[in-house]
């Protein structure tokens, strides 16, 4: 019955979208924007138009980010094919690209993330993505499939974050908004200097009471970025980021608790306290400082080098214990580029390396009503990783593009439990692993590109997997090895007004690292044999028209679809055989579609629909989270107050069907504690002032 109702809602929503076509529209935003095919992406250091790049890349620009409530990048990422971002409670993010969140009971792991060319993923394999505010994202590139040939160890994809626009303009932006469940957000950005000395300062403050009980959140993020032109050949960039965040963790519910009250926090269960009495929460501070130097040796040869240092402090009272982590680290990345035009061919060679090292300390105490009690363990942790890479690109006559890349990677982790007398430090080194990639693309006919690629990835266990919340040191974990094959088309039609992209992939993962929970619901990890992951990802964008003199100046529609068939190939745990079972946390289908308009008077509308298929919650596939349909709308009015000042007033609503669903499930949870309710129907409104 539930599936029938969900399908009825899906059909009804699509009919509404079709009926709305004559009266609603927009290009990508309330301002003009490029067709997606014309976008220049920086992935794999190729700096090519998206349609010519022989890789599956999702590009999320400012207009896609601004379709929602200006507080979260999650809905924009989830509207692109092959990406699933989850939020178990406000501020608690998980991320996967063409894969499962089996390795991420919380946090972002096995996805390599760069923030303005600086590695944002730490030396231990974790990424504090929640230490960036919505306003730290100007555009995002998501590289799907193993990117180890150029971005180091990893099987889960790569995300490149660009915080600044391509064209810098002096000025300031101010935004303030409020919404349901106590949501408040304010942001101030100032851009001062000149073309040779550019400064961007940004401060963001956000608070929320949360939809569920015990989900208060506060986040303050400040950044300062400087670009200095040092003559004709050299450019320096300095980046400083400081984040201070607090959010309560309500804990997952059983099916019975979910049915009784999905907004409740986890109650007391046996010897374990409730979320309230444990005062379960995350207190998190992060500092990042980095410098990037770009130097042109000649018109054909240049280098970009980034060096950074970072420090994170995390305090985490939980149902089981109280954890304190201090994580200082440093790292560097250097990329050399050489290019040469020979007749009608263009050749480019890229080579360089990346190194990261950390000096972490983790203390675990008993939790005494949100305060640290008796010390249980005290661990010094020394993770390190390095990568050396090279890549050759050739743009040949008759529109052939060929890319060959290779990297070698090595990582190690050393743990000394100093709370145990005469403890012999445990050290694990993961040997050199080669990560090759081969890709080719060809313009088959005018405006139609065909590409294919094969790549291999290597992903060692992260610090959080070797030393999980059970505090048992898991040095027997083996690295994952993945091999991916994919092919696809990218095309533009109707005078660049229609863009279509479709790709199919087959991914084989060996020694897949998956999460388990013990009887106390503490996380631990094991290798799960092999998996087969197959999928088809598609997206299309169509601009109806663009006429500055008519009432509706621009009109557009877009849609994306993801089909996944992810299964265990061979996986036995003790006497239980999960071979052939569907991987938990992966929906077989997702659909996102939107309809946008801008009028001559400055009114605009962004209508978005999302469908998520049901999801298996455990390896045995005996429990499933139900499918859901989401509808959101943003209405606004943009008015130019002068030649340099733009006013944007907006209101909107999300989950307008008021669906009860779980956006971040706890997979393989002990006692069936799978469910974390996402917000019901909610509304927001705000105002932005932009001065250039």
Question: What percent of the chain lies above the pLDDT cut of 90?
Answer: 72
- pLDDT value at position 244? 98
DSSP 430-451: EEEEEEEEEEEEEEEETTEEEE
pLDDT of 26 above 80: no
Mean pLDDT, rounded, for 292-318: 96
- pLDDT value at position 467? 83
Secondary structure (3-state) at 276: helix
CA-CA distances (angstroms) from residue 679 to 156, 256, 580?
28, 19, 34
As a whole number of angstroms, the distance between CA 680 and CA 281 comes to 22
Average pLDDT, the chain: 90
**What does DSSP say about strands 603-612 and 615-616: parallel, antiparallel, or unpaired?**
unpaired
Span 246-299, pLDDT tens digits: 999 999 999 999 999 999 999 998 888 999 999 999 999 999 999 999 999 999
C-alpha closest to that of 626 among 566, 673, 670, 677? 677
How confident is residue 463, by pLDDT bands cut at 50, 70 and 90? confident
As a whole number of angstroms, the distance between CA 197 and CA 227 comes to 6
Contact by Cβ (8 Å): 403, 52: no
DSSP state of 130: G
161-166-168-172 Cα dihedral, nearest 10 degrees: -50
530 C-beta neighbours (distance < 10 Å), count: 18
Contact by Cβ (8 Å): 412, 430: yes
Mean pLDDT, rounded, for 164-190: 95
Tokens 């499930």 — which residue?
Answer: 665
Contact by Cβ (8 Å): 379, 362: yes
The ranges assigned to domains in the chain are: 2-673
Question: ∠ CA(580), CA(586), CA(590), 5° rounding?
Answer: 125
How confident is residue 19, by pLDDT bands cut at 50, 70 and 90? very low
pLDDT of 583 above 70: yes
How confident is residue 516, by pLDDT bands cut at 50, 70 and 90? confident
Mean pLDDT, rounded, for 61-69: 94
| Range with the poorest average pLDDT among 195-204, 356-365, 527-536 | 527-536
- pLDDT value at position 270? 82
CATH topology of domain 2-673: Maltoporin; Chain A (2.40.170)
Question: ∠ CA(306), CA(84), CA(5), 5° rounding?
Answer: 165
How confident is residue 62, by pLDDT bands cut at 50, 70 and 90? very high
Span 614-633, pLDDT tens digits: 999 999 999 999 999 999 99
How confident is residue 11, by pLDDT bands cut at 50, 70 and 90? very low
How confident is residue 34, by pLDDT bands cut at 50, 70 and 90? low
C-alpha closest to that of 604 among 646, 641, 560, 648? 648
**Residue 313 vs residue 432, higher pLDDT:** 313
Mean pLDDT, rounded, for 183-201: 95
Question: What percent of the chain lies above the pLDDT cut of 70?
Answer: 93
Secondary structure (3-state) at 609: strand
Tell me the pTM.
Answer: 0.92
| Range with the poorest average pLDDT among 247-251, 467-471, 564-568, 586-590 | 467-471
**What does DSSP say about strands 523-527 and 513-517: parallel, antiparallel, or unpaired?**
antiparallel
Mean pLDDT, rounded, for 594-607: 96
| Range with the poorest average pLDDT among 40-54, 307-321, 603-617 | 40-54
């Amino acid at each position: 019955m539930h599936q029938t109702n969900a399908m009825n809602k899906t059909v009804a929503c699509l009919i509404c979208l079709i009926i709305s076509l004559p009266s609603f529209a927009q290009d990508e935003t309330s301002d003009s924007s490029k067709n997606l095919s014309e976008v220049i992406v920086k992935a794999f250091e190729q700096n090519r138009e998206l349609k010519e790049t022989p890789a599956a890349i999702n590009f999320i620009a400012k207009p896609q980010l601004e379709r929602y409530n200006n507080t979260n990048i999650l809905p924009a990422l989830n509207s692109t094919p092959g990406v699933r971002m989850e939020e178990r409670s406000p501020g608690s993010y998980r991320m996967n690209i063409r894969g499962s969140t089996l390795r991420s009971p919380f946090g972002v792991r096995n996805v390599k993330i760069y923030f303005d060319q600086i590695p944002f993923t730490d030396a231990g394999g974790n990424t504090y993505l929640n230490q960036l505010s919505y306003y730290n994202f100007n555009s995002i590139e998501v590289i799907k499939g193993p990117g180890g040939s150029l971005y180091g160890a990893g099987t889960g994809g790569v995300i490149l974050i660009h915080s600044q626009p391509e064209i810098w303009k002096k000025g300031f932006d101010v935004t303030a908004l409020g919404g349901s469940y106590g949501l408040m957000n304010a942001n101030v950005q100032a851009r001062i200097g000149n073309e040779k000395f550019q400064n961007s300062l940004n401060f963001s403050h956000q608070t929320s009471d949360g939809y569920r009980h015990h989900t208060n959140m506060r986040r303050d993020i400040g950044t300062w970025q400087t670009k200095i032109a040092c003559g004709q050949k050299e450019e320096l960039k300095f980046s400083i980021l400081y984040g201070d965040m607090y959010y309560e963790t309500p804990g997952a519910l059983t099916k019975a608790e979910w049915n009784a009250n999905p907004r409740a926090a986890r109650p007391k269960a046996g010897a374990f306290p409730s979320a309230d009495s444990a005062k379960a929460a995350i207190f998190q501070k992060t500092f990042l400082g980095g410098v990037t130097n770009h130097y042109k040796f000649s018109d054909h040869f240049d280098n970009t080098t980034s060096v950074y240092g970072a420090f994170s402090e995390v305090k985490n009272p939980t149902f089981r214990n109280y954890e304190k982590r201090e994580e200082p680290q440093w790292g560097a990345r250097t990329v050399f580029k050489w290019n040469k035009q020979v007749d009608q061919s263009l050749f480019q060679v890229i080579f360089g390396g990346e190194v990261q090292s950390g000096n972490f300390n983790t203390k675990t105490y008993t939790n005494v009503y949100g305060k640290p009690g008796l010390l249980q363990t005290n661990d010094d942790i020394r993770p390190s990783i390095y990568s050396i890479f090279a890549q050759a690109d050739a743009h040949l006559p008759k529109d052939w593009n060929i890319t060959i890349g290779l990297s070698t990677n090595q990582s190690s982790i050393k743990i000394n439990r100093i709370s145990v007398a005469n403890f012999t430090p445990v050290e694990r080194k993961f040997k050199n692993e080669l990560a090759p990639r081969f890709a080719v693309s060809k313009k088959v006919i005018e405006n139609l590109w065909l590409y294919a690629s094969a790549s291999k990835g290597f992903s060692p266990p992260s610090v959080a997997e070797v030393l999980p919340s059970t505090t048992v040191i898991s040095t027997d974990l083996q690295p994952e090895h993945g091999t991916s094959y994919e092919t696809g088309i990218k095309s533009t039609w109707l005078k660049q007004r229609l863009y279509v992209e479709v790709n199919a992939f087959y991914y084989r993962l060996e020694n897949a690292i998956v999460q388990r929970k013990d009887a106390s619901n503490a996380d631990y990890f094991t290798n799960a044999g092999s998996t087969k992951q197959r999928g088809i990802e598609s997206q299309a964008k169509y601009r109806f028209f663009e006429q500055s003199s008519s009432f509706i100046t621009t009109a557009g529609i877009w849609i994306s679809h993801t089909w996944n068939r992810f299964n265990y190939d061979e996986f036995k745990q003790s006497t239980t055989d999960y071979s052939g079972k569907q991987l938990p946390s992966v929906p077989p289908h997702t659909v996102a579609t939107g309809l946008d308009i801008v009028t001559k008077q400055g009114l605009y509308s962004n209508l978005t629909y999302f469908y998520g298929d049901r999801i298996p919650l455990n390896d045995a596939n005996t429990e499933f989270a139900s499918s859901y349909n989401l509808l959101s709308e943003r209405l606004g009015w943009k008015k130019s107050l002068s030649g340099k000042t733009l006013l944007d007033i907006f209101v909107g609503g999300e989950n307008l069907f008021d669906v009860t669903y779980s956006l971040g499930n706890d997979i393989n949870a002990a006692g069936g504690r799978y469910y974390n309710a996402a917000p019901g129907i909610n509304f927001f409104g705000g105002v932005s002032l932009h001065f250039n």
